[in-house]
Amino acid sequence: MSRSTPIIHKTRTQVVVEVLREKILSGDIAAGEPLRQSALADELNVSRIPVREALLQLEAEGLVKFEAHKGATATELSVEQVTELFELRALIETDLLAKAIPKLEDEDLLKAEKVLDELESAFKQEDAVSTWSELNTRFHTCLYSPADHPHTLEVVHGLNTNCDRYIRLQLLLAGGIPQAEQDHRELLSLCKNKDTDKAVELLRAHILHAAKAIRELVAQQVA
């Protein structure tokens, strides 16, 4: 008897988290916009409890901020935050990649290439913007996982969540897609060739170049 695929049941809080996260990352909820629990509960047809729990989770992800006498708001775009987040990514992700490359197997590289094909396809579809971050994270995770540093990888995923809104800005408004595609293909090729030094240098440049473009965009938006 074959095993059936398990059905994953999501709690109301999980559903609300996903809906609000996507609204914030896509810009449907603008930076600095108040998040009224009663209005969100009515809009999503749930009680205020899962909304409150969802906002607390999104606060932990850096997407929501709670302030006294003001309540919850979507976090503001910040040049300083871009610098901190992307410098952290450059430090942590390059270290992970350097540890992973000697352990990369053909299976890891095939998975990475398959995800990269999906990402490049998604870049060409206007209605697939919401999948870019997940596919990008999956591609990099295929290359980092062999390092066998699960806690570090978890930190990277948290940073990616916080960077998501900024990366979408870069890809959508700064023409970053062609460069991203070129960098990803070259990175995969260097990983296949086990060229650790060049792969690490490319990854660092990939992350910091994105940060520079995003800082310029954010500076314009908050000016």
Mean pLDDT per block of 10 residues along the chain (223 residues) reads: 49 90 83 92 94 90 82 89 95 98 98 97 83 91 97 95 84 83 97 98 96 87 62
Close Cβ partners of 28 (under 8 Å, ≥ 6 residues apart): 22
The residues, ordered by sequence, that sit 6+ positions from 201 with a Cβ below 8 Å of its Cβ are: none
Query: What values do phi and psi take at 45, rounded to 5?
Result: 60, 45
Per-residue confidence (pLDDT) for residue 67, from 0 to 100 = 84
Amino acid identity of residue 135, one-letter, is L
Tally helices (H) and strands (E) across the chain: 9, 2
Please, which residues have CB within 8 angstroms of residue 109's CB and are 6 or more apart in sequence? Answer: 142, 188, 191, 192
CA distance 72 to 119: 33
HEC readout, 77-122: CCHHHHHHHHHHHHHHHHHHHHHHHHHCCHHHHHHHHHHHHHHHHH
What pLDDT does residue 25 have?
74
* Residue 211 pLDDT: 94
| Domains of the chain and CATH, by start | 12-74 (1.10.10.10), 79-222 (1.20.120.530)
Which of 94, 136, 133 shows the shortest CA–CA distance to 116? Answer: 136
Question: What's residue 9's pLDDT?
Answer: 63
pLDDT (0 to 100) of residue 1: 39
Distance, CA of 211 to CA of 162 (rounded, Å): 13
Do 111 and 143 touch, CB atoms closer than 8 A?
Answer: no
The 3-state DSSP class for residue 135 equals helix
Confidence at residue 132, expressed as pLDDT on a 0 to 100 scale: 87
Q: What is the pLDDT of residue 204?
A: 98
pLDDT at 199: 98
